[in-house]
Structure 1
Amino acid sequence: MNSEQGRPSGRRETAVAAHDTTPADAGSHEDAQRILQSLRDELDGLDRTLLETVRRRLDCCCRIGLHKRDHAIPMMQPHRIGVVQERAADFAAKHGVSPAFLRALYGLIITETCRLEDEIIGAPSTSA
């Protein structure tokens, strides 16, 4: 907390303050709405990128599952999960992102990855 101003201090505050506009700064209501729409359009583009990246990640994990199945490699690789979680924790620390948020996000991603790999590894191999 910033004791002088009574609010949290840190990277998030700086990012929010850079985009903070008061009604006097925004000009007219129309300007404020135009700015809001522009920010929402930016967010929508980022969401499209995020979703496409998740799809590509899951596709890669399916190819890994096929490789594991074809070479009798066990699906569960606990050390690899640790590597991914540690990378997310490092990212959180370097970029001011909540570590709990990234742990939860990667928990969901890893759970889905394991589900997909289980399905693939349990299916008959087509390379035999």
Structure 2
Amino acid sequence: MELDGIDGRLLKIIRERIDCCVRIAHHKREHDIPMMQPHRIGIVQDRAARYGEDHGVDPDFLRRLYDLIIGETCRVEDLVMGNTSAR
């Protein structure tokens, strides 16, 4: 089914994003860089909202979606970096 294929690609991309964040967390740990980069969160959310505006997808939906995605990647980065405050 077409929708199943799209869902499979979406899940694969989410996994790739998490894998990338794991690599970033290793770099941050090795170079004593704080896990949380608040300015990046705003940049990513704004980019998603602009994409929504440009492509007919509700920008608020995309902001909420990225809230979830960013929350999970922050949790994973905390674990990788050994932070005791892991969510």
Establish whether TM, by shorter chain, passes 0.5: yes
What secondary structure, in the 3-state scheme, does the structure 1 residue paired with 2:36 have?
Answer: coil
Structure-2 residue corresponding to 1:120? 80
What secondary structure, in the 3-state scheme, does the structure 1 residue paired with 2:32 have?
Answer: coil
Structure 1 residue ranges without an equivalent (≥5) = 1-40, 124-128
Q: Deviations over 1:67-101 (max 9, x none)?
A: 00010000000111111011101101001101111
Distance, in Å, in 2 between the alignment partners of 1:90 and 1:102 is 9
Identity %: 63
Structure 2 residue ranges without an equivalent (≥5) = none
The two structures, once aligned, show a CA RMSD in angstroms of 0.9
- What is the number of equivalent residue pairs in this alignment? 83
Structure-1 residue corresponding to 2:49? 89
Q: Of residues 57, 68, 92 in structure 1, which corresponds to 2:28?
A: 68
Q: Deviations over 1:7-28 (max 9, x none)?
A: xxxxxxxxxxxxxxxxxxxxxx
Letter matched to residue 113 of structure 1: T
The structure in which a higher percent of residues are helix is 2
Structure-2 residue corresponding to 1:49? 9
Letter matched to residue 60 of structure 1: C
Letter matched to residue 47 of structure 1: D
1:121 CA drift (Å): 1.0
Letter matched to residue 36 of structure 2: M
Matches within 5 A, 1:101-112: 101-112=61-72
Runs of 4+ displaced beyond 4 Å: none
